[in-house]
Structures are given as structure tokens and as C-alpha cells.
């Protein structure tokens, strides 16, 4: 797989020096000429690159900042055609007259970039391939699971069709299209477009070279099995990175991707018995799903066989397609039990508070019940708190009237981004109290900041994710998980197997 890192000089000091030292894992550099200032010495940028260069002048009509006028575009390519460039990106809607006359076909990527995913992408790709260029590139925008599946279906068709040289590059932009950026290069043409680094993307949904390698760098082609994390913002989940590290350590040719789910109908479409799901239909055998907020309760309803703890909670975070059935489990229970064990807190008889009324809170209440703890439930909606507390024989309370507790579990997304949360700010816990966050973010969560300020013992959501993920990995793959590799993928230090 070639990793093409896209470069634009905005807010970069000494861009020529940056170009001479591309991100680790990069094998080609795309210079987005449309994002360079007019006065910038673009030829020097080309010459500064130590890797093969793809030169792109993306027009405003296709999401860039470059000219759409054929006259202006021809002038640009006439000025640059003799430069030491490996490939020129020509837009099919504007630059075809230059193909073969000014730019040789073997040095051209002919491309189209769309703002949605139309129903005729197979025909669009066929017309691009028919131009005979080195690569044909079709980029759509994914707004739904249907769009993602359409792009994966096209990638599968390219892999199986009369495309021996794998010339078709296909993926979808946007947060919902991340899975296509991972699978496209493994099925169709092996070109993966990447950002120059975290926060340096020039297109929505772009991953960095490091992220691409962490997620699919262990694969040489089509995965033998695919797993996915299902959420409304799945691209933020660390589950794919954690599980991919486990696959790499054990030499398993599997993939784990983020799939954003926007409705119950999309969830029901995915959670089908073995071999009957939409990923199976596009040549990607489905091994299982990790389910996170807000779909844990809805996913439970899709399962035809439940582990007792999942049945008690009426929520699942692990779904396993099996022949003729869909199995659901709740490994969040294992994650919580393990962090309490590691913290040295004896749960039998302990009074533990849980914030939340969703699927994560249900998992916490089941874990506490099974361990013999006394659960106290708090939340933003008193009516929901009362109802859930009755269901799980917990005490309904409020943040203001919480009283003495041995531990506190945040089973909501509150504070994940580090932004102050008014409800969490009202917490009045004794010094040394154990606080467990289920959410996590790129930086410290708000609860982590509070814990440091107020002297509480803090357990991060990444630790809970790891320990539930170890059980999940074993259930999905039938093999012991490589603990240290999966912990390292989450940025955690030494952990006990």
C-alpha cells in the first residue's frame, strides 16, 4: 500500500524543510498546489521532496481552492509538466483536453470529487478507467451507512473485476467515510491518501500515516475477517486501534474499522446472523461488532441470544454474528470489575455512585450488583433516574445529596472533551475517593482535571476500554488477547495480563 501524504503550507514554518522530512510511513507526497500562496516557489517545493510527488490543482468546483477555468488550468500544467513530478492529478470534468497531449496518460491520475454518493458510481468509475490513465480516482462524500456500503461495494467490484493493475482509487470523504479510506486501498488501487499529521488534514476524514499504519498496516490485501465499532461518532473511538494492535501481535489478517450509525434502521441492517450482513455482501466476512453510545440498548434488541449479564442489563457492547443467530454480551462488566480490582477497592458492601441512565449506566449497575456493591444512581433527569434505580434495586439520588461513597462512575459522555460540566462540578467527594471515567478524549477529561484538583484517585476511560476490550477480543476471536500490545495501543503503561 502506497501512503500518499497530502501537504499544504498553511501555518507551517519552513515548509521546504517539512517537505524534506515527510511523516514516517509516507511513500509519496501530494502537493496541493491550490492551497499554496501564489508567490510560493512551488517548483522548489517539488524539488525539496525526497519522495515521488503527486501534483494536484483541486478546483473550487470539486472542493479545492484552485481555478475551474480550463484556460487557467492549462496554463498551470504547461508550467509544471517538465518538473520532476511522478503523477499529475487531472480533473475529468476540466482537464481531459490535456490528457495525452500535454500530460502523458502513464503520468496521470484522472479524478472526480463529488459532494455525495450517487447511485451510478460504478458507471462513473468505469468511464474514468476507460481513459487509460495510470490511476482513476473517484472520491465521494459519505453521509450515511448506505453511502459507505456503496463505496465498499465498488471497491470490491474493482478488486474482483478485470482490473488486473488495480487502477481504481475509491473512497468517501467525511467522518462517516473513514472505513472506506481504510478498506479502499486494500481492495482497489493500493493508494491511501493521508494527512501530513494529526490536525493537518486537507480533506474531511483524512487519517495520518501513523493512523493508517496502526489500523491496517499489518494487512497485505483484503482482510480475512472484518470487525467494526458502531457509534454515532465512531471515528473517535480507540477500539479499532486497540484491536488492530492485537491482530498485528498475533499475525491475524483481520481488520477493525469505525462505522458511524445514524439510525436504528442502520443498526438493524448491520446486526444480522453470520454471512447475512451488508459487509458480507461486499466481500468482507463479518466477525463481530463493538457497540458504544448511544446504541447499546438498541443493539440488545437486535440480538437473538444474550449472555445473562446482557439480558439483565438489557444492553450489549459486544455482538457476535453466528449461524442463524446474533449473540450479545456485555464485556463492560469485565472492564469495570477489573479496574476496581486493580485499584484495590473491595466492592462487596461498598456504596458506589453511578452517573447516567443509558446503556453504559446499565452495565455499571449490573457490574456492581454482581459484585455485591450498593449502587446509588444520579443523573440529569430525575424521572429516568427513579425508573432505572427501581429496575436495578439501586438508590435514586442527586449529585447534591449523594452523601458518602467509596467510588463514583461517570457513565455518560460528560466532560469527555475537557470542557467544564456543571453537574460534575457539583461533585462533593472525599479526598482519596475513586472516580472512574467511562468516556475518554484526546486530552484530559473534565473529571480527570477535577480529580487532580480535589485529590480523588482517577481511573481513565482508556483503562476501562482496555479491560473490557480484552474480554471482547477473546470472545470475537476465540484466542487469548495480547495484553501488552493492546495496552500500548491505548497509550497505557505496564498492565497485568
As annotated, the active-site residues are 296
| Cα distances (Å, whole numbers) of residue 496 to 130, 245, 322, 332, 458 | 56, 17, 31, 18, 18
H or E, element range at 382: helix 382-391
CA 197 to chain centre: 16
H or E, element range at 369: helix 359-371
H or E, element range at 377: strand 374-378
Q: Which residues does 202 contact at the CB level (< 8 Å), separation at least 6?
A: 6, 7, 8, 32, 35, 195
The length of the chain in residues reads 497
* Contact in structure between 357 and 378 (CB atoms under 8 Å): no
DSSP 8-state symbol, 142: -
Using alpha carbons only, how large is the chain's radius of gyration in Å?
A: 25
Taking each helix axis as running N to C, give the angle between helix 239-250 and helix 461-477, from 0 to 180 degrees, rounded to the nearest 10: 50
Q: Which residues does 210 contact at the CB level (< 8 Å), separation at least 6?
A: 23, 24, 25, 197
The C-alpha cell of 275 is what? 454471512
- From the list 5, 3, 84, the residue with the least C-alpha distance to 42 is 84
Distance CA 318, CA 470 (A): 12
* Contact in structure between 356 and 411 (CB atoms under 8 Å): yes
As a three-state string, the secondary structure of 451-497 is: HHHHCCEEECHHHHHHHHHHHHHHHHHCCCCCHHHHHHHCCCCCCCC
H or E, element range at 311: helix 308-313
DSSP 8-state symbol, 6: E
Total Cβ atoms within 10 A of residue 115 = 11
Distance CA 235, CA 238 (A): 8
Distance CA 209, CA 24 (A): 7
Amino acid at each position: 500500500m502506497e501512503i500518499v501524504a497530502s501537504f499544504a503550507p498553511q501555518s507551517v514554518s519552513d515548509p521546504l524543510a517539512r517537505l524534506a522530512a515527510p511523516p514516517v510511513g509516507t511513500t509519496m507526497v501530494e502537493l496541493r498546489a491550490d492551497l499554496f500562496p501564489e508567490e510560493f516557489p512551488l517548483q522548489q517545493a517539488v524539488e525539496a521532496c525526497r519522495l515521488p510527488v503527486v501534483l494536484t490543482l483541486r478546483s473550487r468546483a470539486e472542493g479545492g481552492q484552485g481555478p475551474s477555468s480550463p484556460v487557467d488550468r492549462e496554463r498551470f500544467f504547461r508550467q509544471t509538466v517538465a518538473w520532476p513530478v511522478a503523477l499529475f492529478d487531472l480533473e475529468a470534468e476540466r482537464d481531459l483536453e490535456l490528457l495525452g497531449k500535454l500530460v502523458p496518460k502513464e503520468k496521470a491520475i484522472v479524478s472526480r470529487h463529488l459532494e455525495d454518493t450517487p447511485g451510478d458510481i460504478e458507471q462513473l468509475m468505469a468511464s474514468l478507467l476507460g481513459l487509460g490513465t495510470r490511476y482513476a480516482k473517484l472520491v465521494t462524500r459519505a453521509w450515511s451507512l448506505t453511502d459507505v456500503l456503496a463505496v465498499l461495494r465498488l471497491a470490491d467490484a474493482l478488486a474482483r473485476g478485470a482490473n488486473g493493475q488495480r487502477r481504481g482509487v475509491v473512497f468517501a470523504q467525511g467522518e462517516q467515510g473513514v472505513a472506506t479510506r481504510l478498506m479502499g486501498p486494500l481492495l482497489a488501487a493500493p493508494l491511501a491518501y493521508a494527512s501530513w499529521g494529526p490536525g493537518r488534514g486537507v480533506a474531511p476524514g483524512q487519517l495520518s500515516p501513523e493512523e493508517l499504519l496502526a489500523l491496517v498496516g499489518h494487512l497485505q490485501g483484503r482482510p480475512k475477517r472484518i470487525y467494526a465499532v458502531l457509534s454515532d461518532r465512531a471515528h473517535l473511538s480507540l477500539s479499532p486501534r486497540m484491536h488492530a494492535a492485537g491482530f498485528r501481535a498475533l499475525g491475524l489478517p483481520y481488520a477493525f474499522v469505525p462505522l458511524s450509525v445514524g439510525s436504528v434502521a442502520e443498526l438493524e441492517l448491520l446486526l444480522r446472523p453470520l454471512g447475512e450482513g451488508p459487509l458480507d455482501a461486499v466481500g468482507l466476512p463479518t466477525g463481530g461488532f463493538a457497540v458504544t453510545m448511544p446504541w447499546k440498548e438498541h443493539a440488545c434488541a437486535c440480538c437473538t441470544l444474550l449472555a445473562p449479564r446482557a439480558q439483565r442489563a438489557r444492553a450489549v457492547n459486544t455482538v457476535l454474528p453466528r449461524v442463524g443467530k446474533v449473540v450479545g454480551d456485555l464485556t463492560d462488566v469485565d472492564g469495570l470489575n477489573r479496574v476496581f480490582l486493580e485499584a484495590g477497592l473491595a466492592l462487596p458492601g461498598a456504596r458506589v455512585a453511578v452517573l447516567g441512565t443509558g446503556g453504559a449506566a446499565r452495565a455499571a449497575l449490573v457490574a456492581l450488583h454482581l459484585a455485591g456493591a450498593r449502587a446509588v444512581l444520579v443523573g440529569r433527569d430525575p424521572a429516568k433516574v427513579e425508573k432505572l434505580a427501581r429496575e436495578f434495586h439501586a438508590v435514586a439520588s442527586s449529585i447534591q445529596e449523594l452523601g458518602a461513597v467509596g467510588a463514583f462512575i461517570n457513565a455518560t459522555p460528560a466532560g469527555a472533551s475537557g470542557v467544564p460540566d456543571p453537574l460534575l462540578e457539583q461533585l462533593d467527594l472525599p479526598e482519596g475517593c475513586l472516580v472512574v471515567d467511562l468516556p475518554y478524549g484526546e486530552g484530559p477529561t473534565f473529571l480527570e482535571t477535577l480529580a487532580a484538583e480535589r485529590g480523588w484517585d482517577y481511573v481513565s476511560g482508556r483503562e476501562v476500554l482496555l479491560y473490557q476490550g480484552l474480554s471482547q477480543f477473546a470472545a470475537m476471536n476465540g484466542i487469548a488477547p495480547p495484553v501488552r500490545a493492546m495496552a500500548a495501543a491505548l497509550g497505557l503503561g505496564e498492565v497485568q495480563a
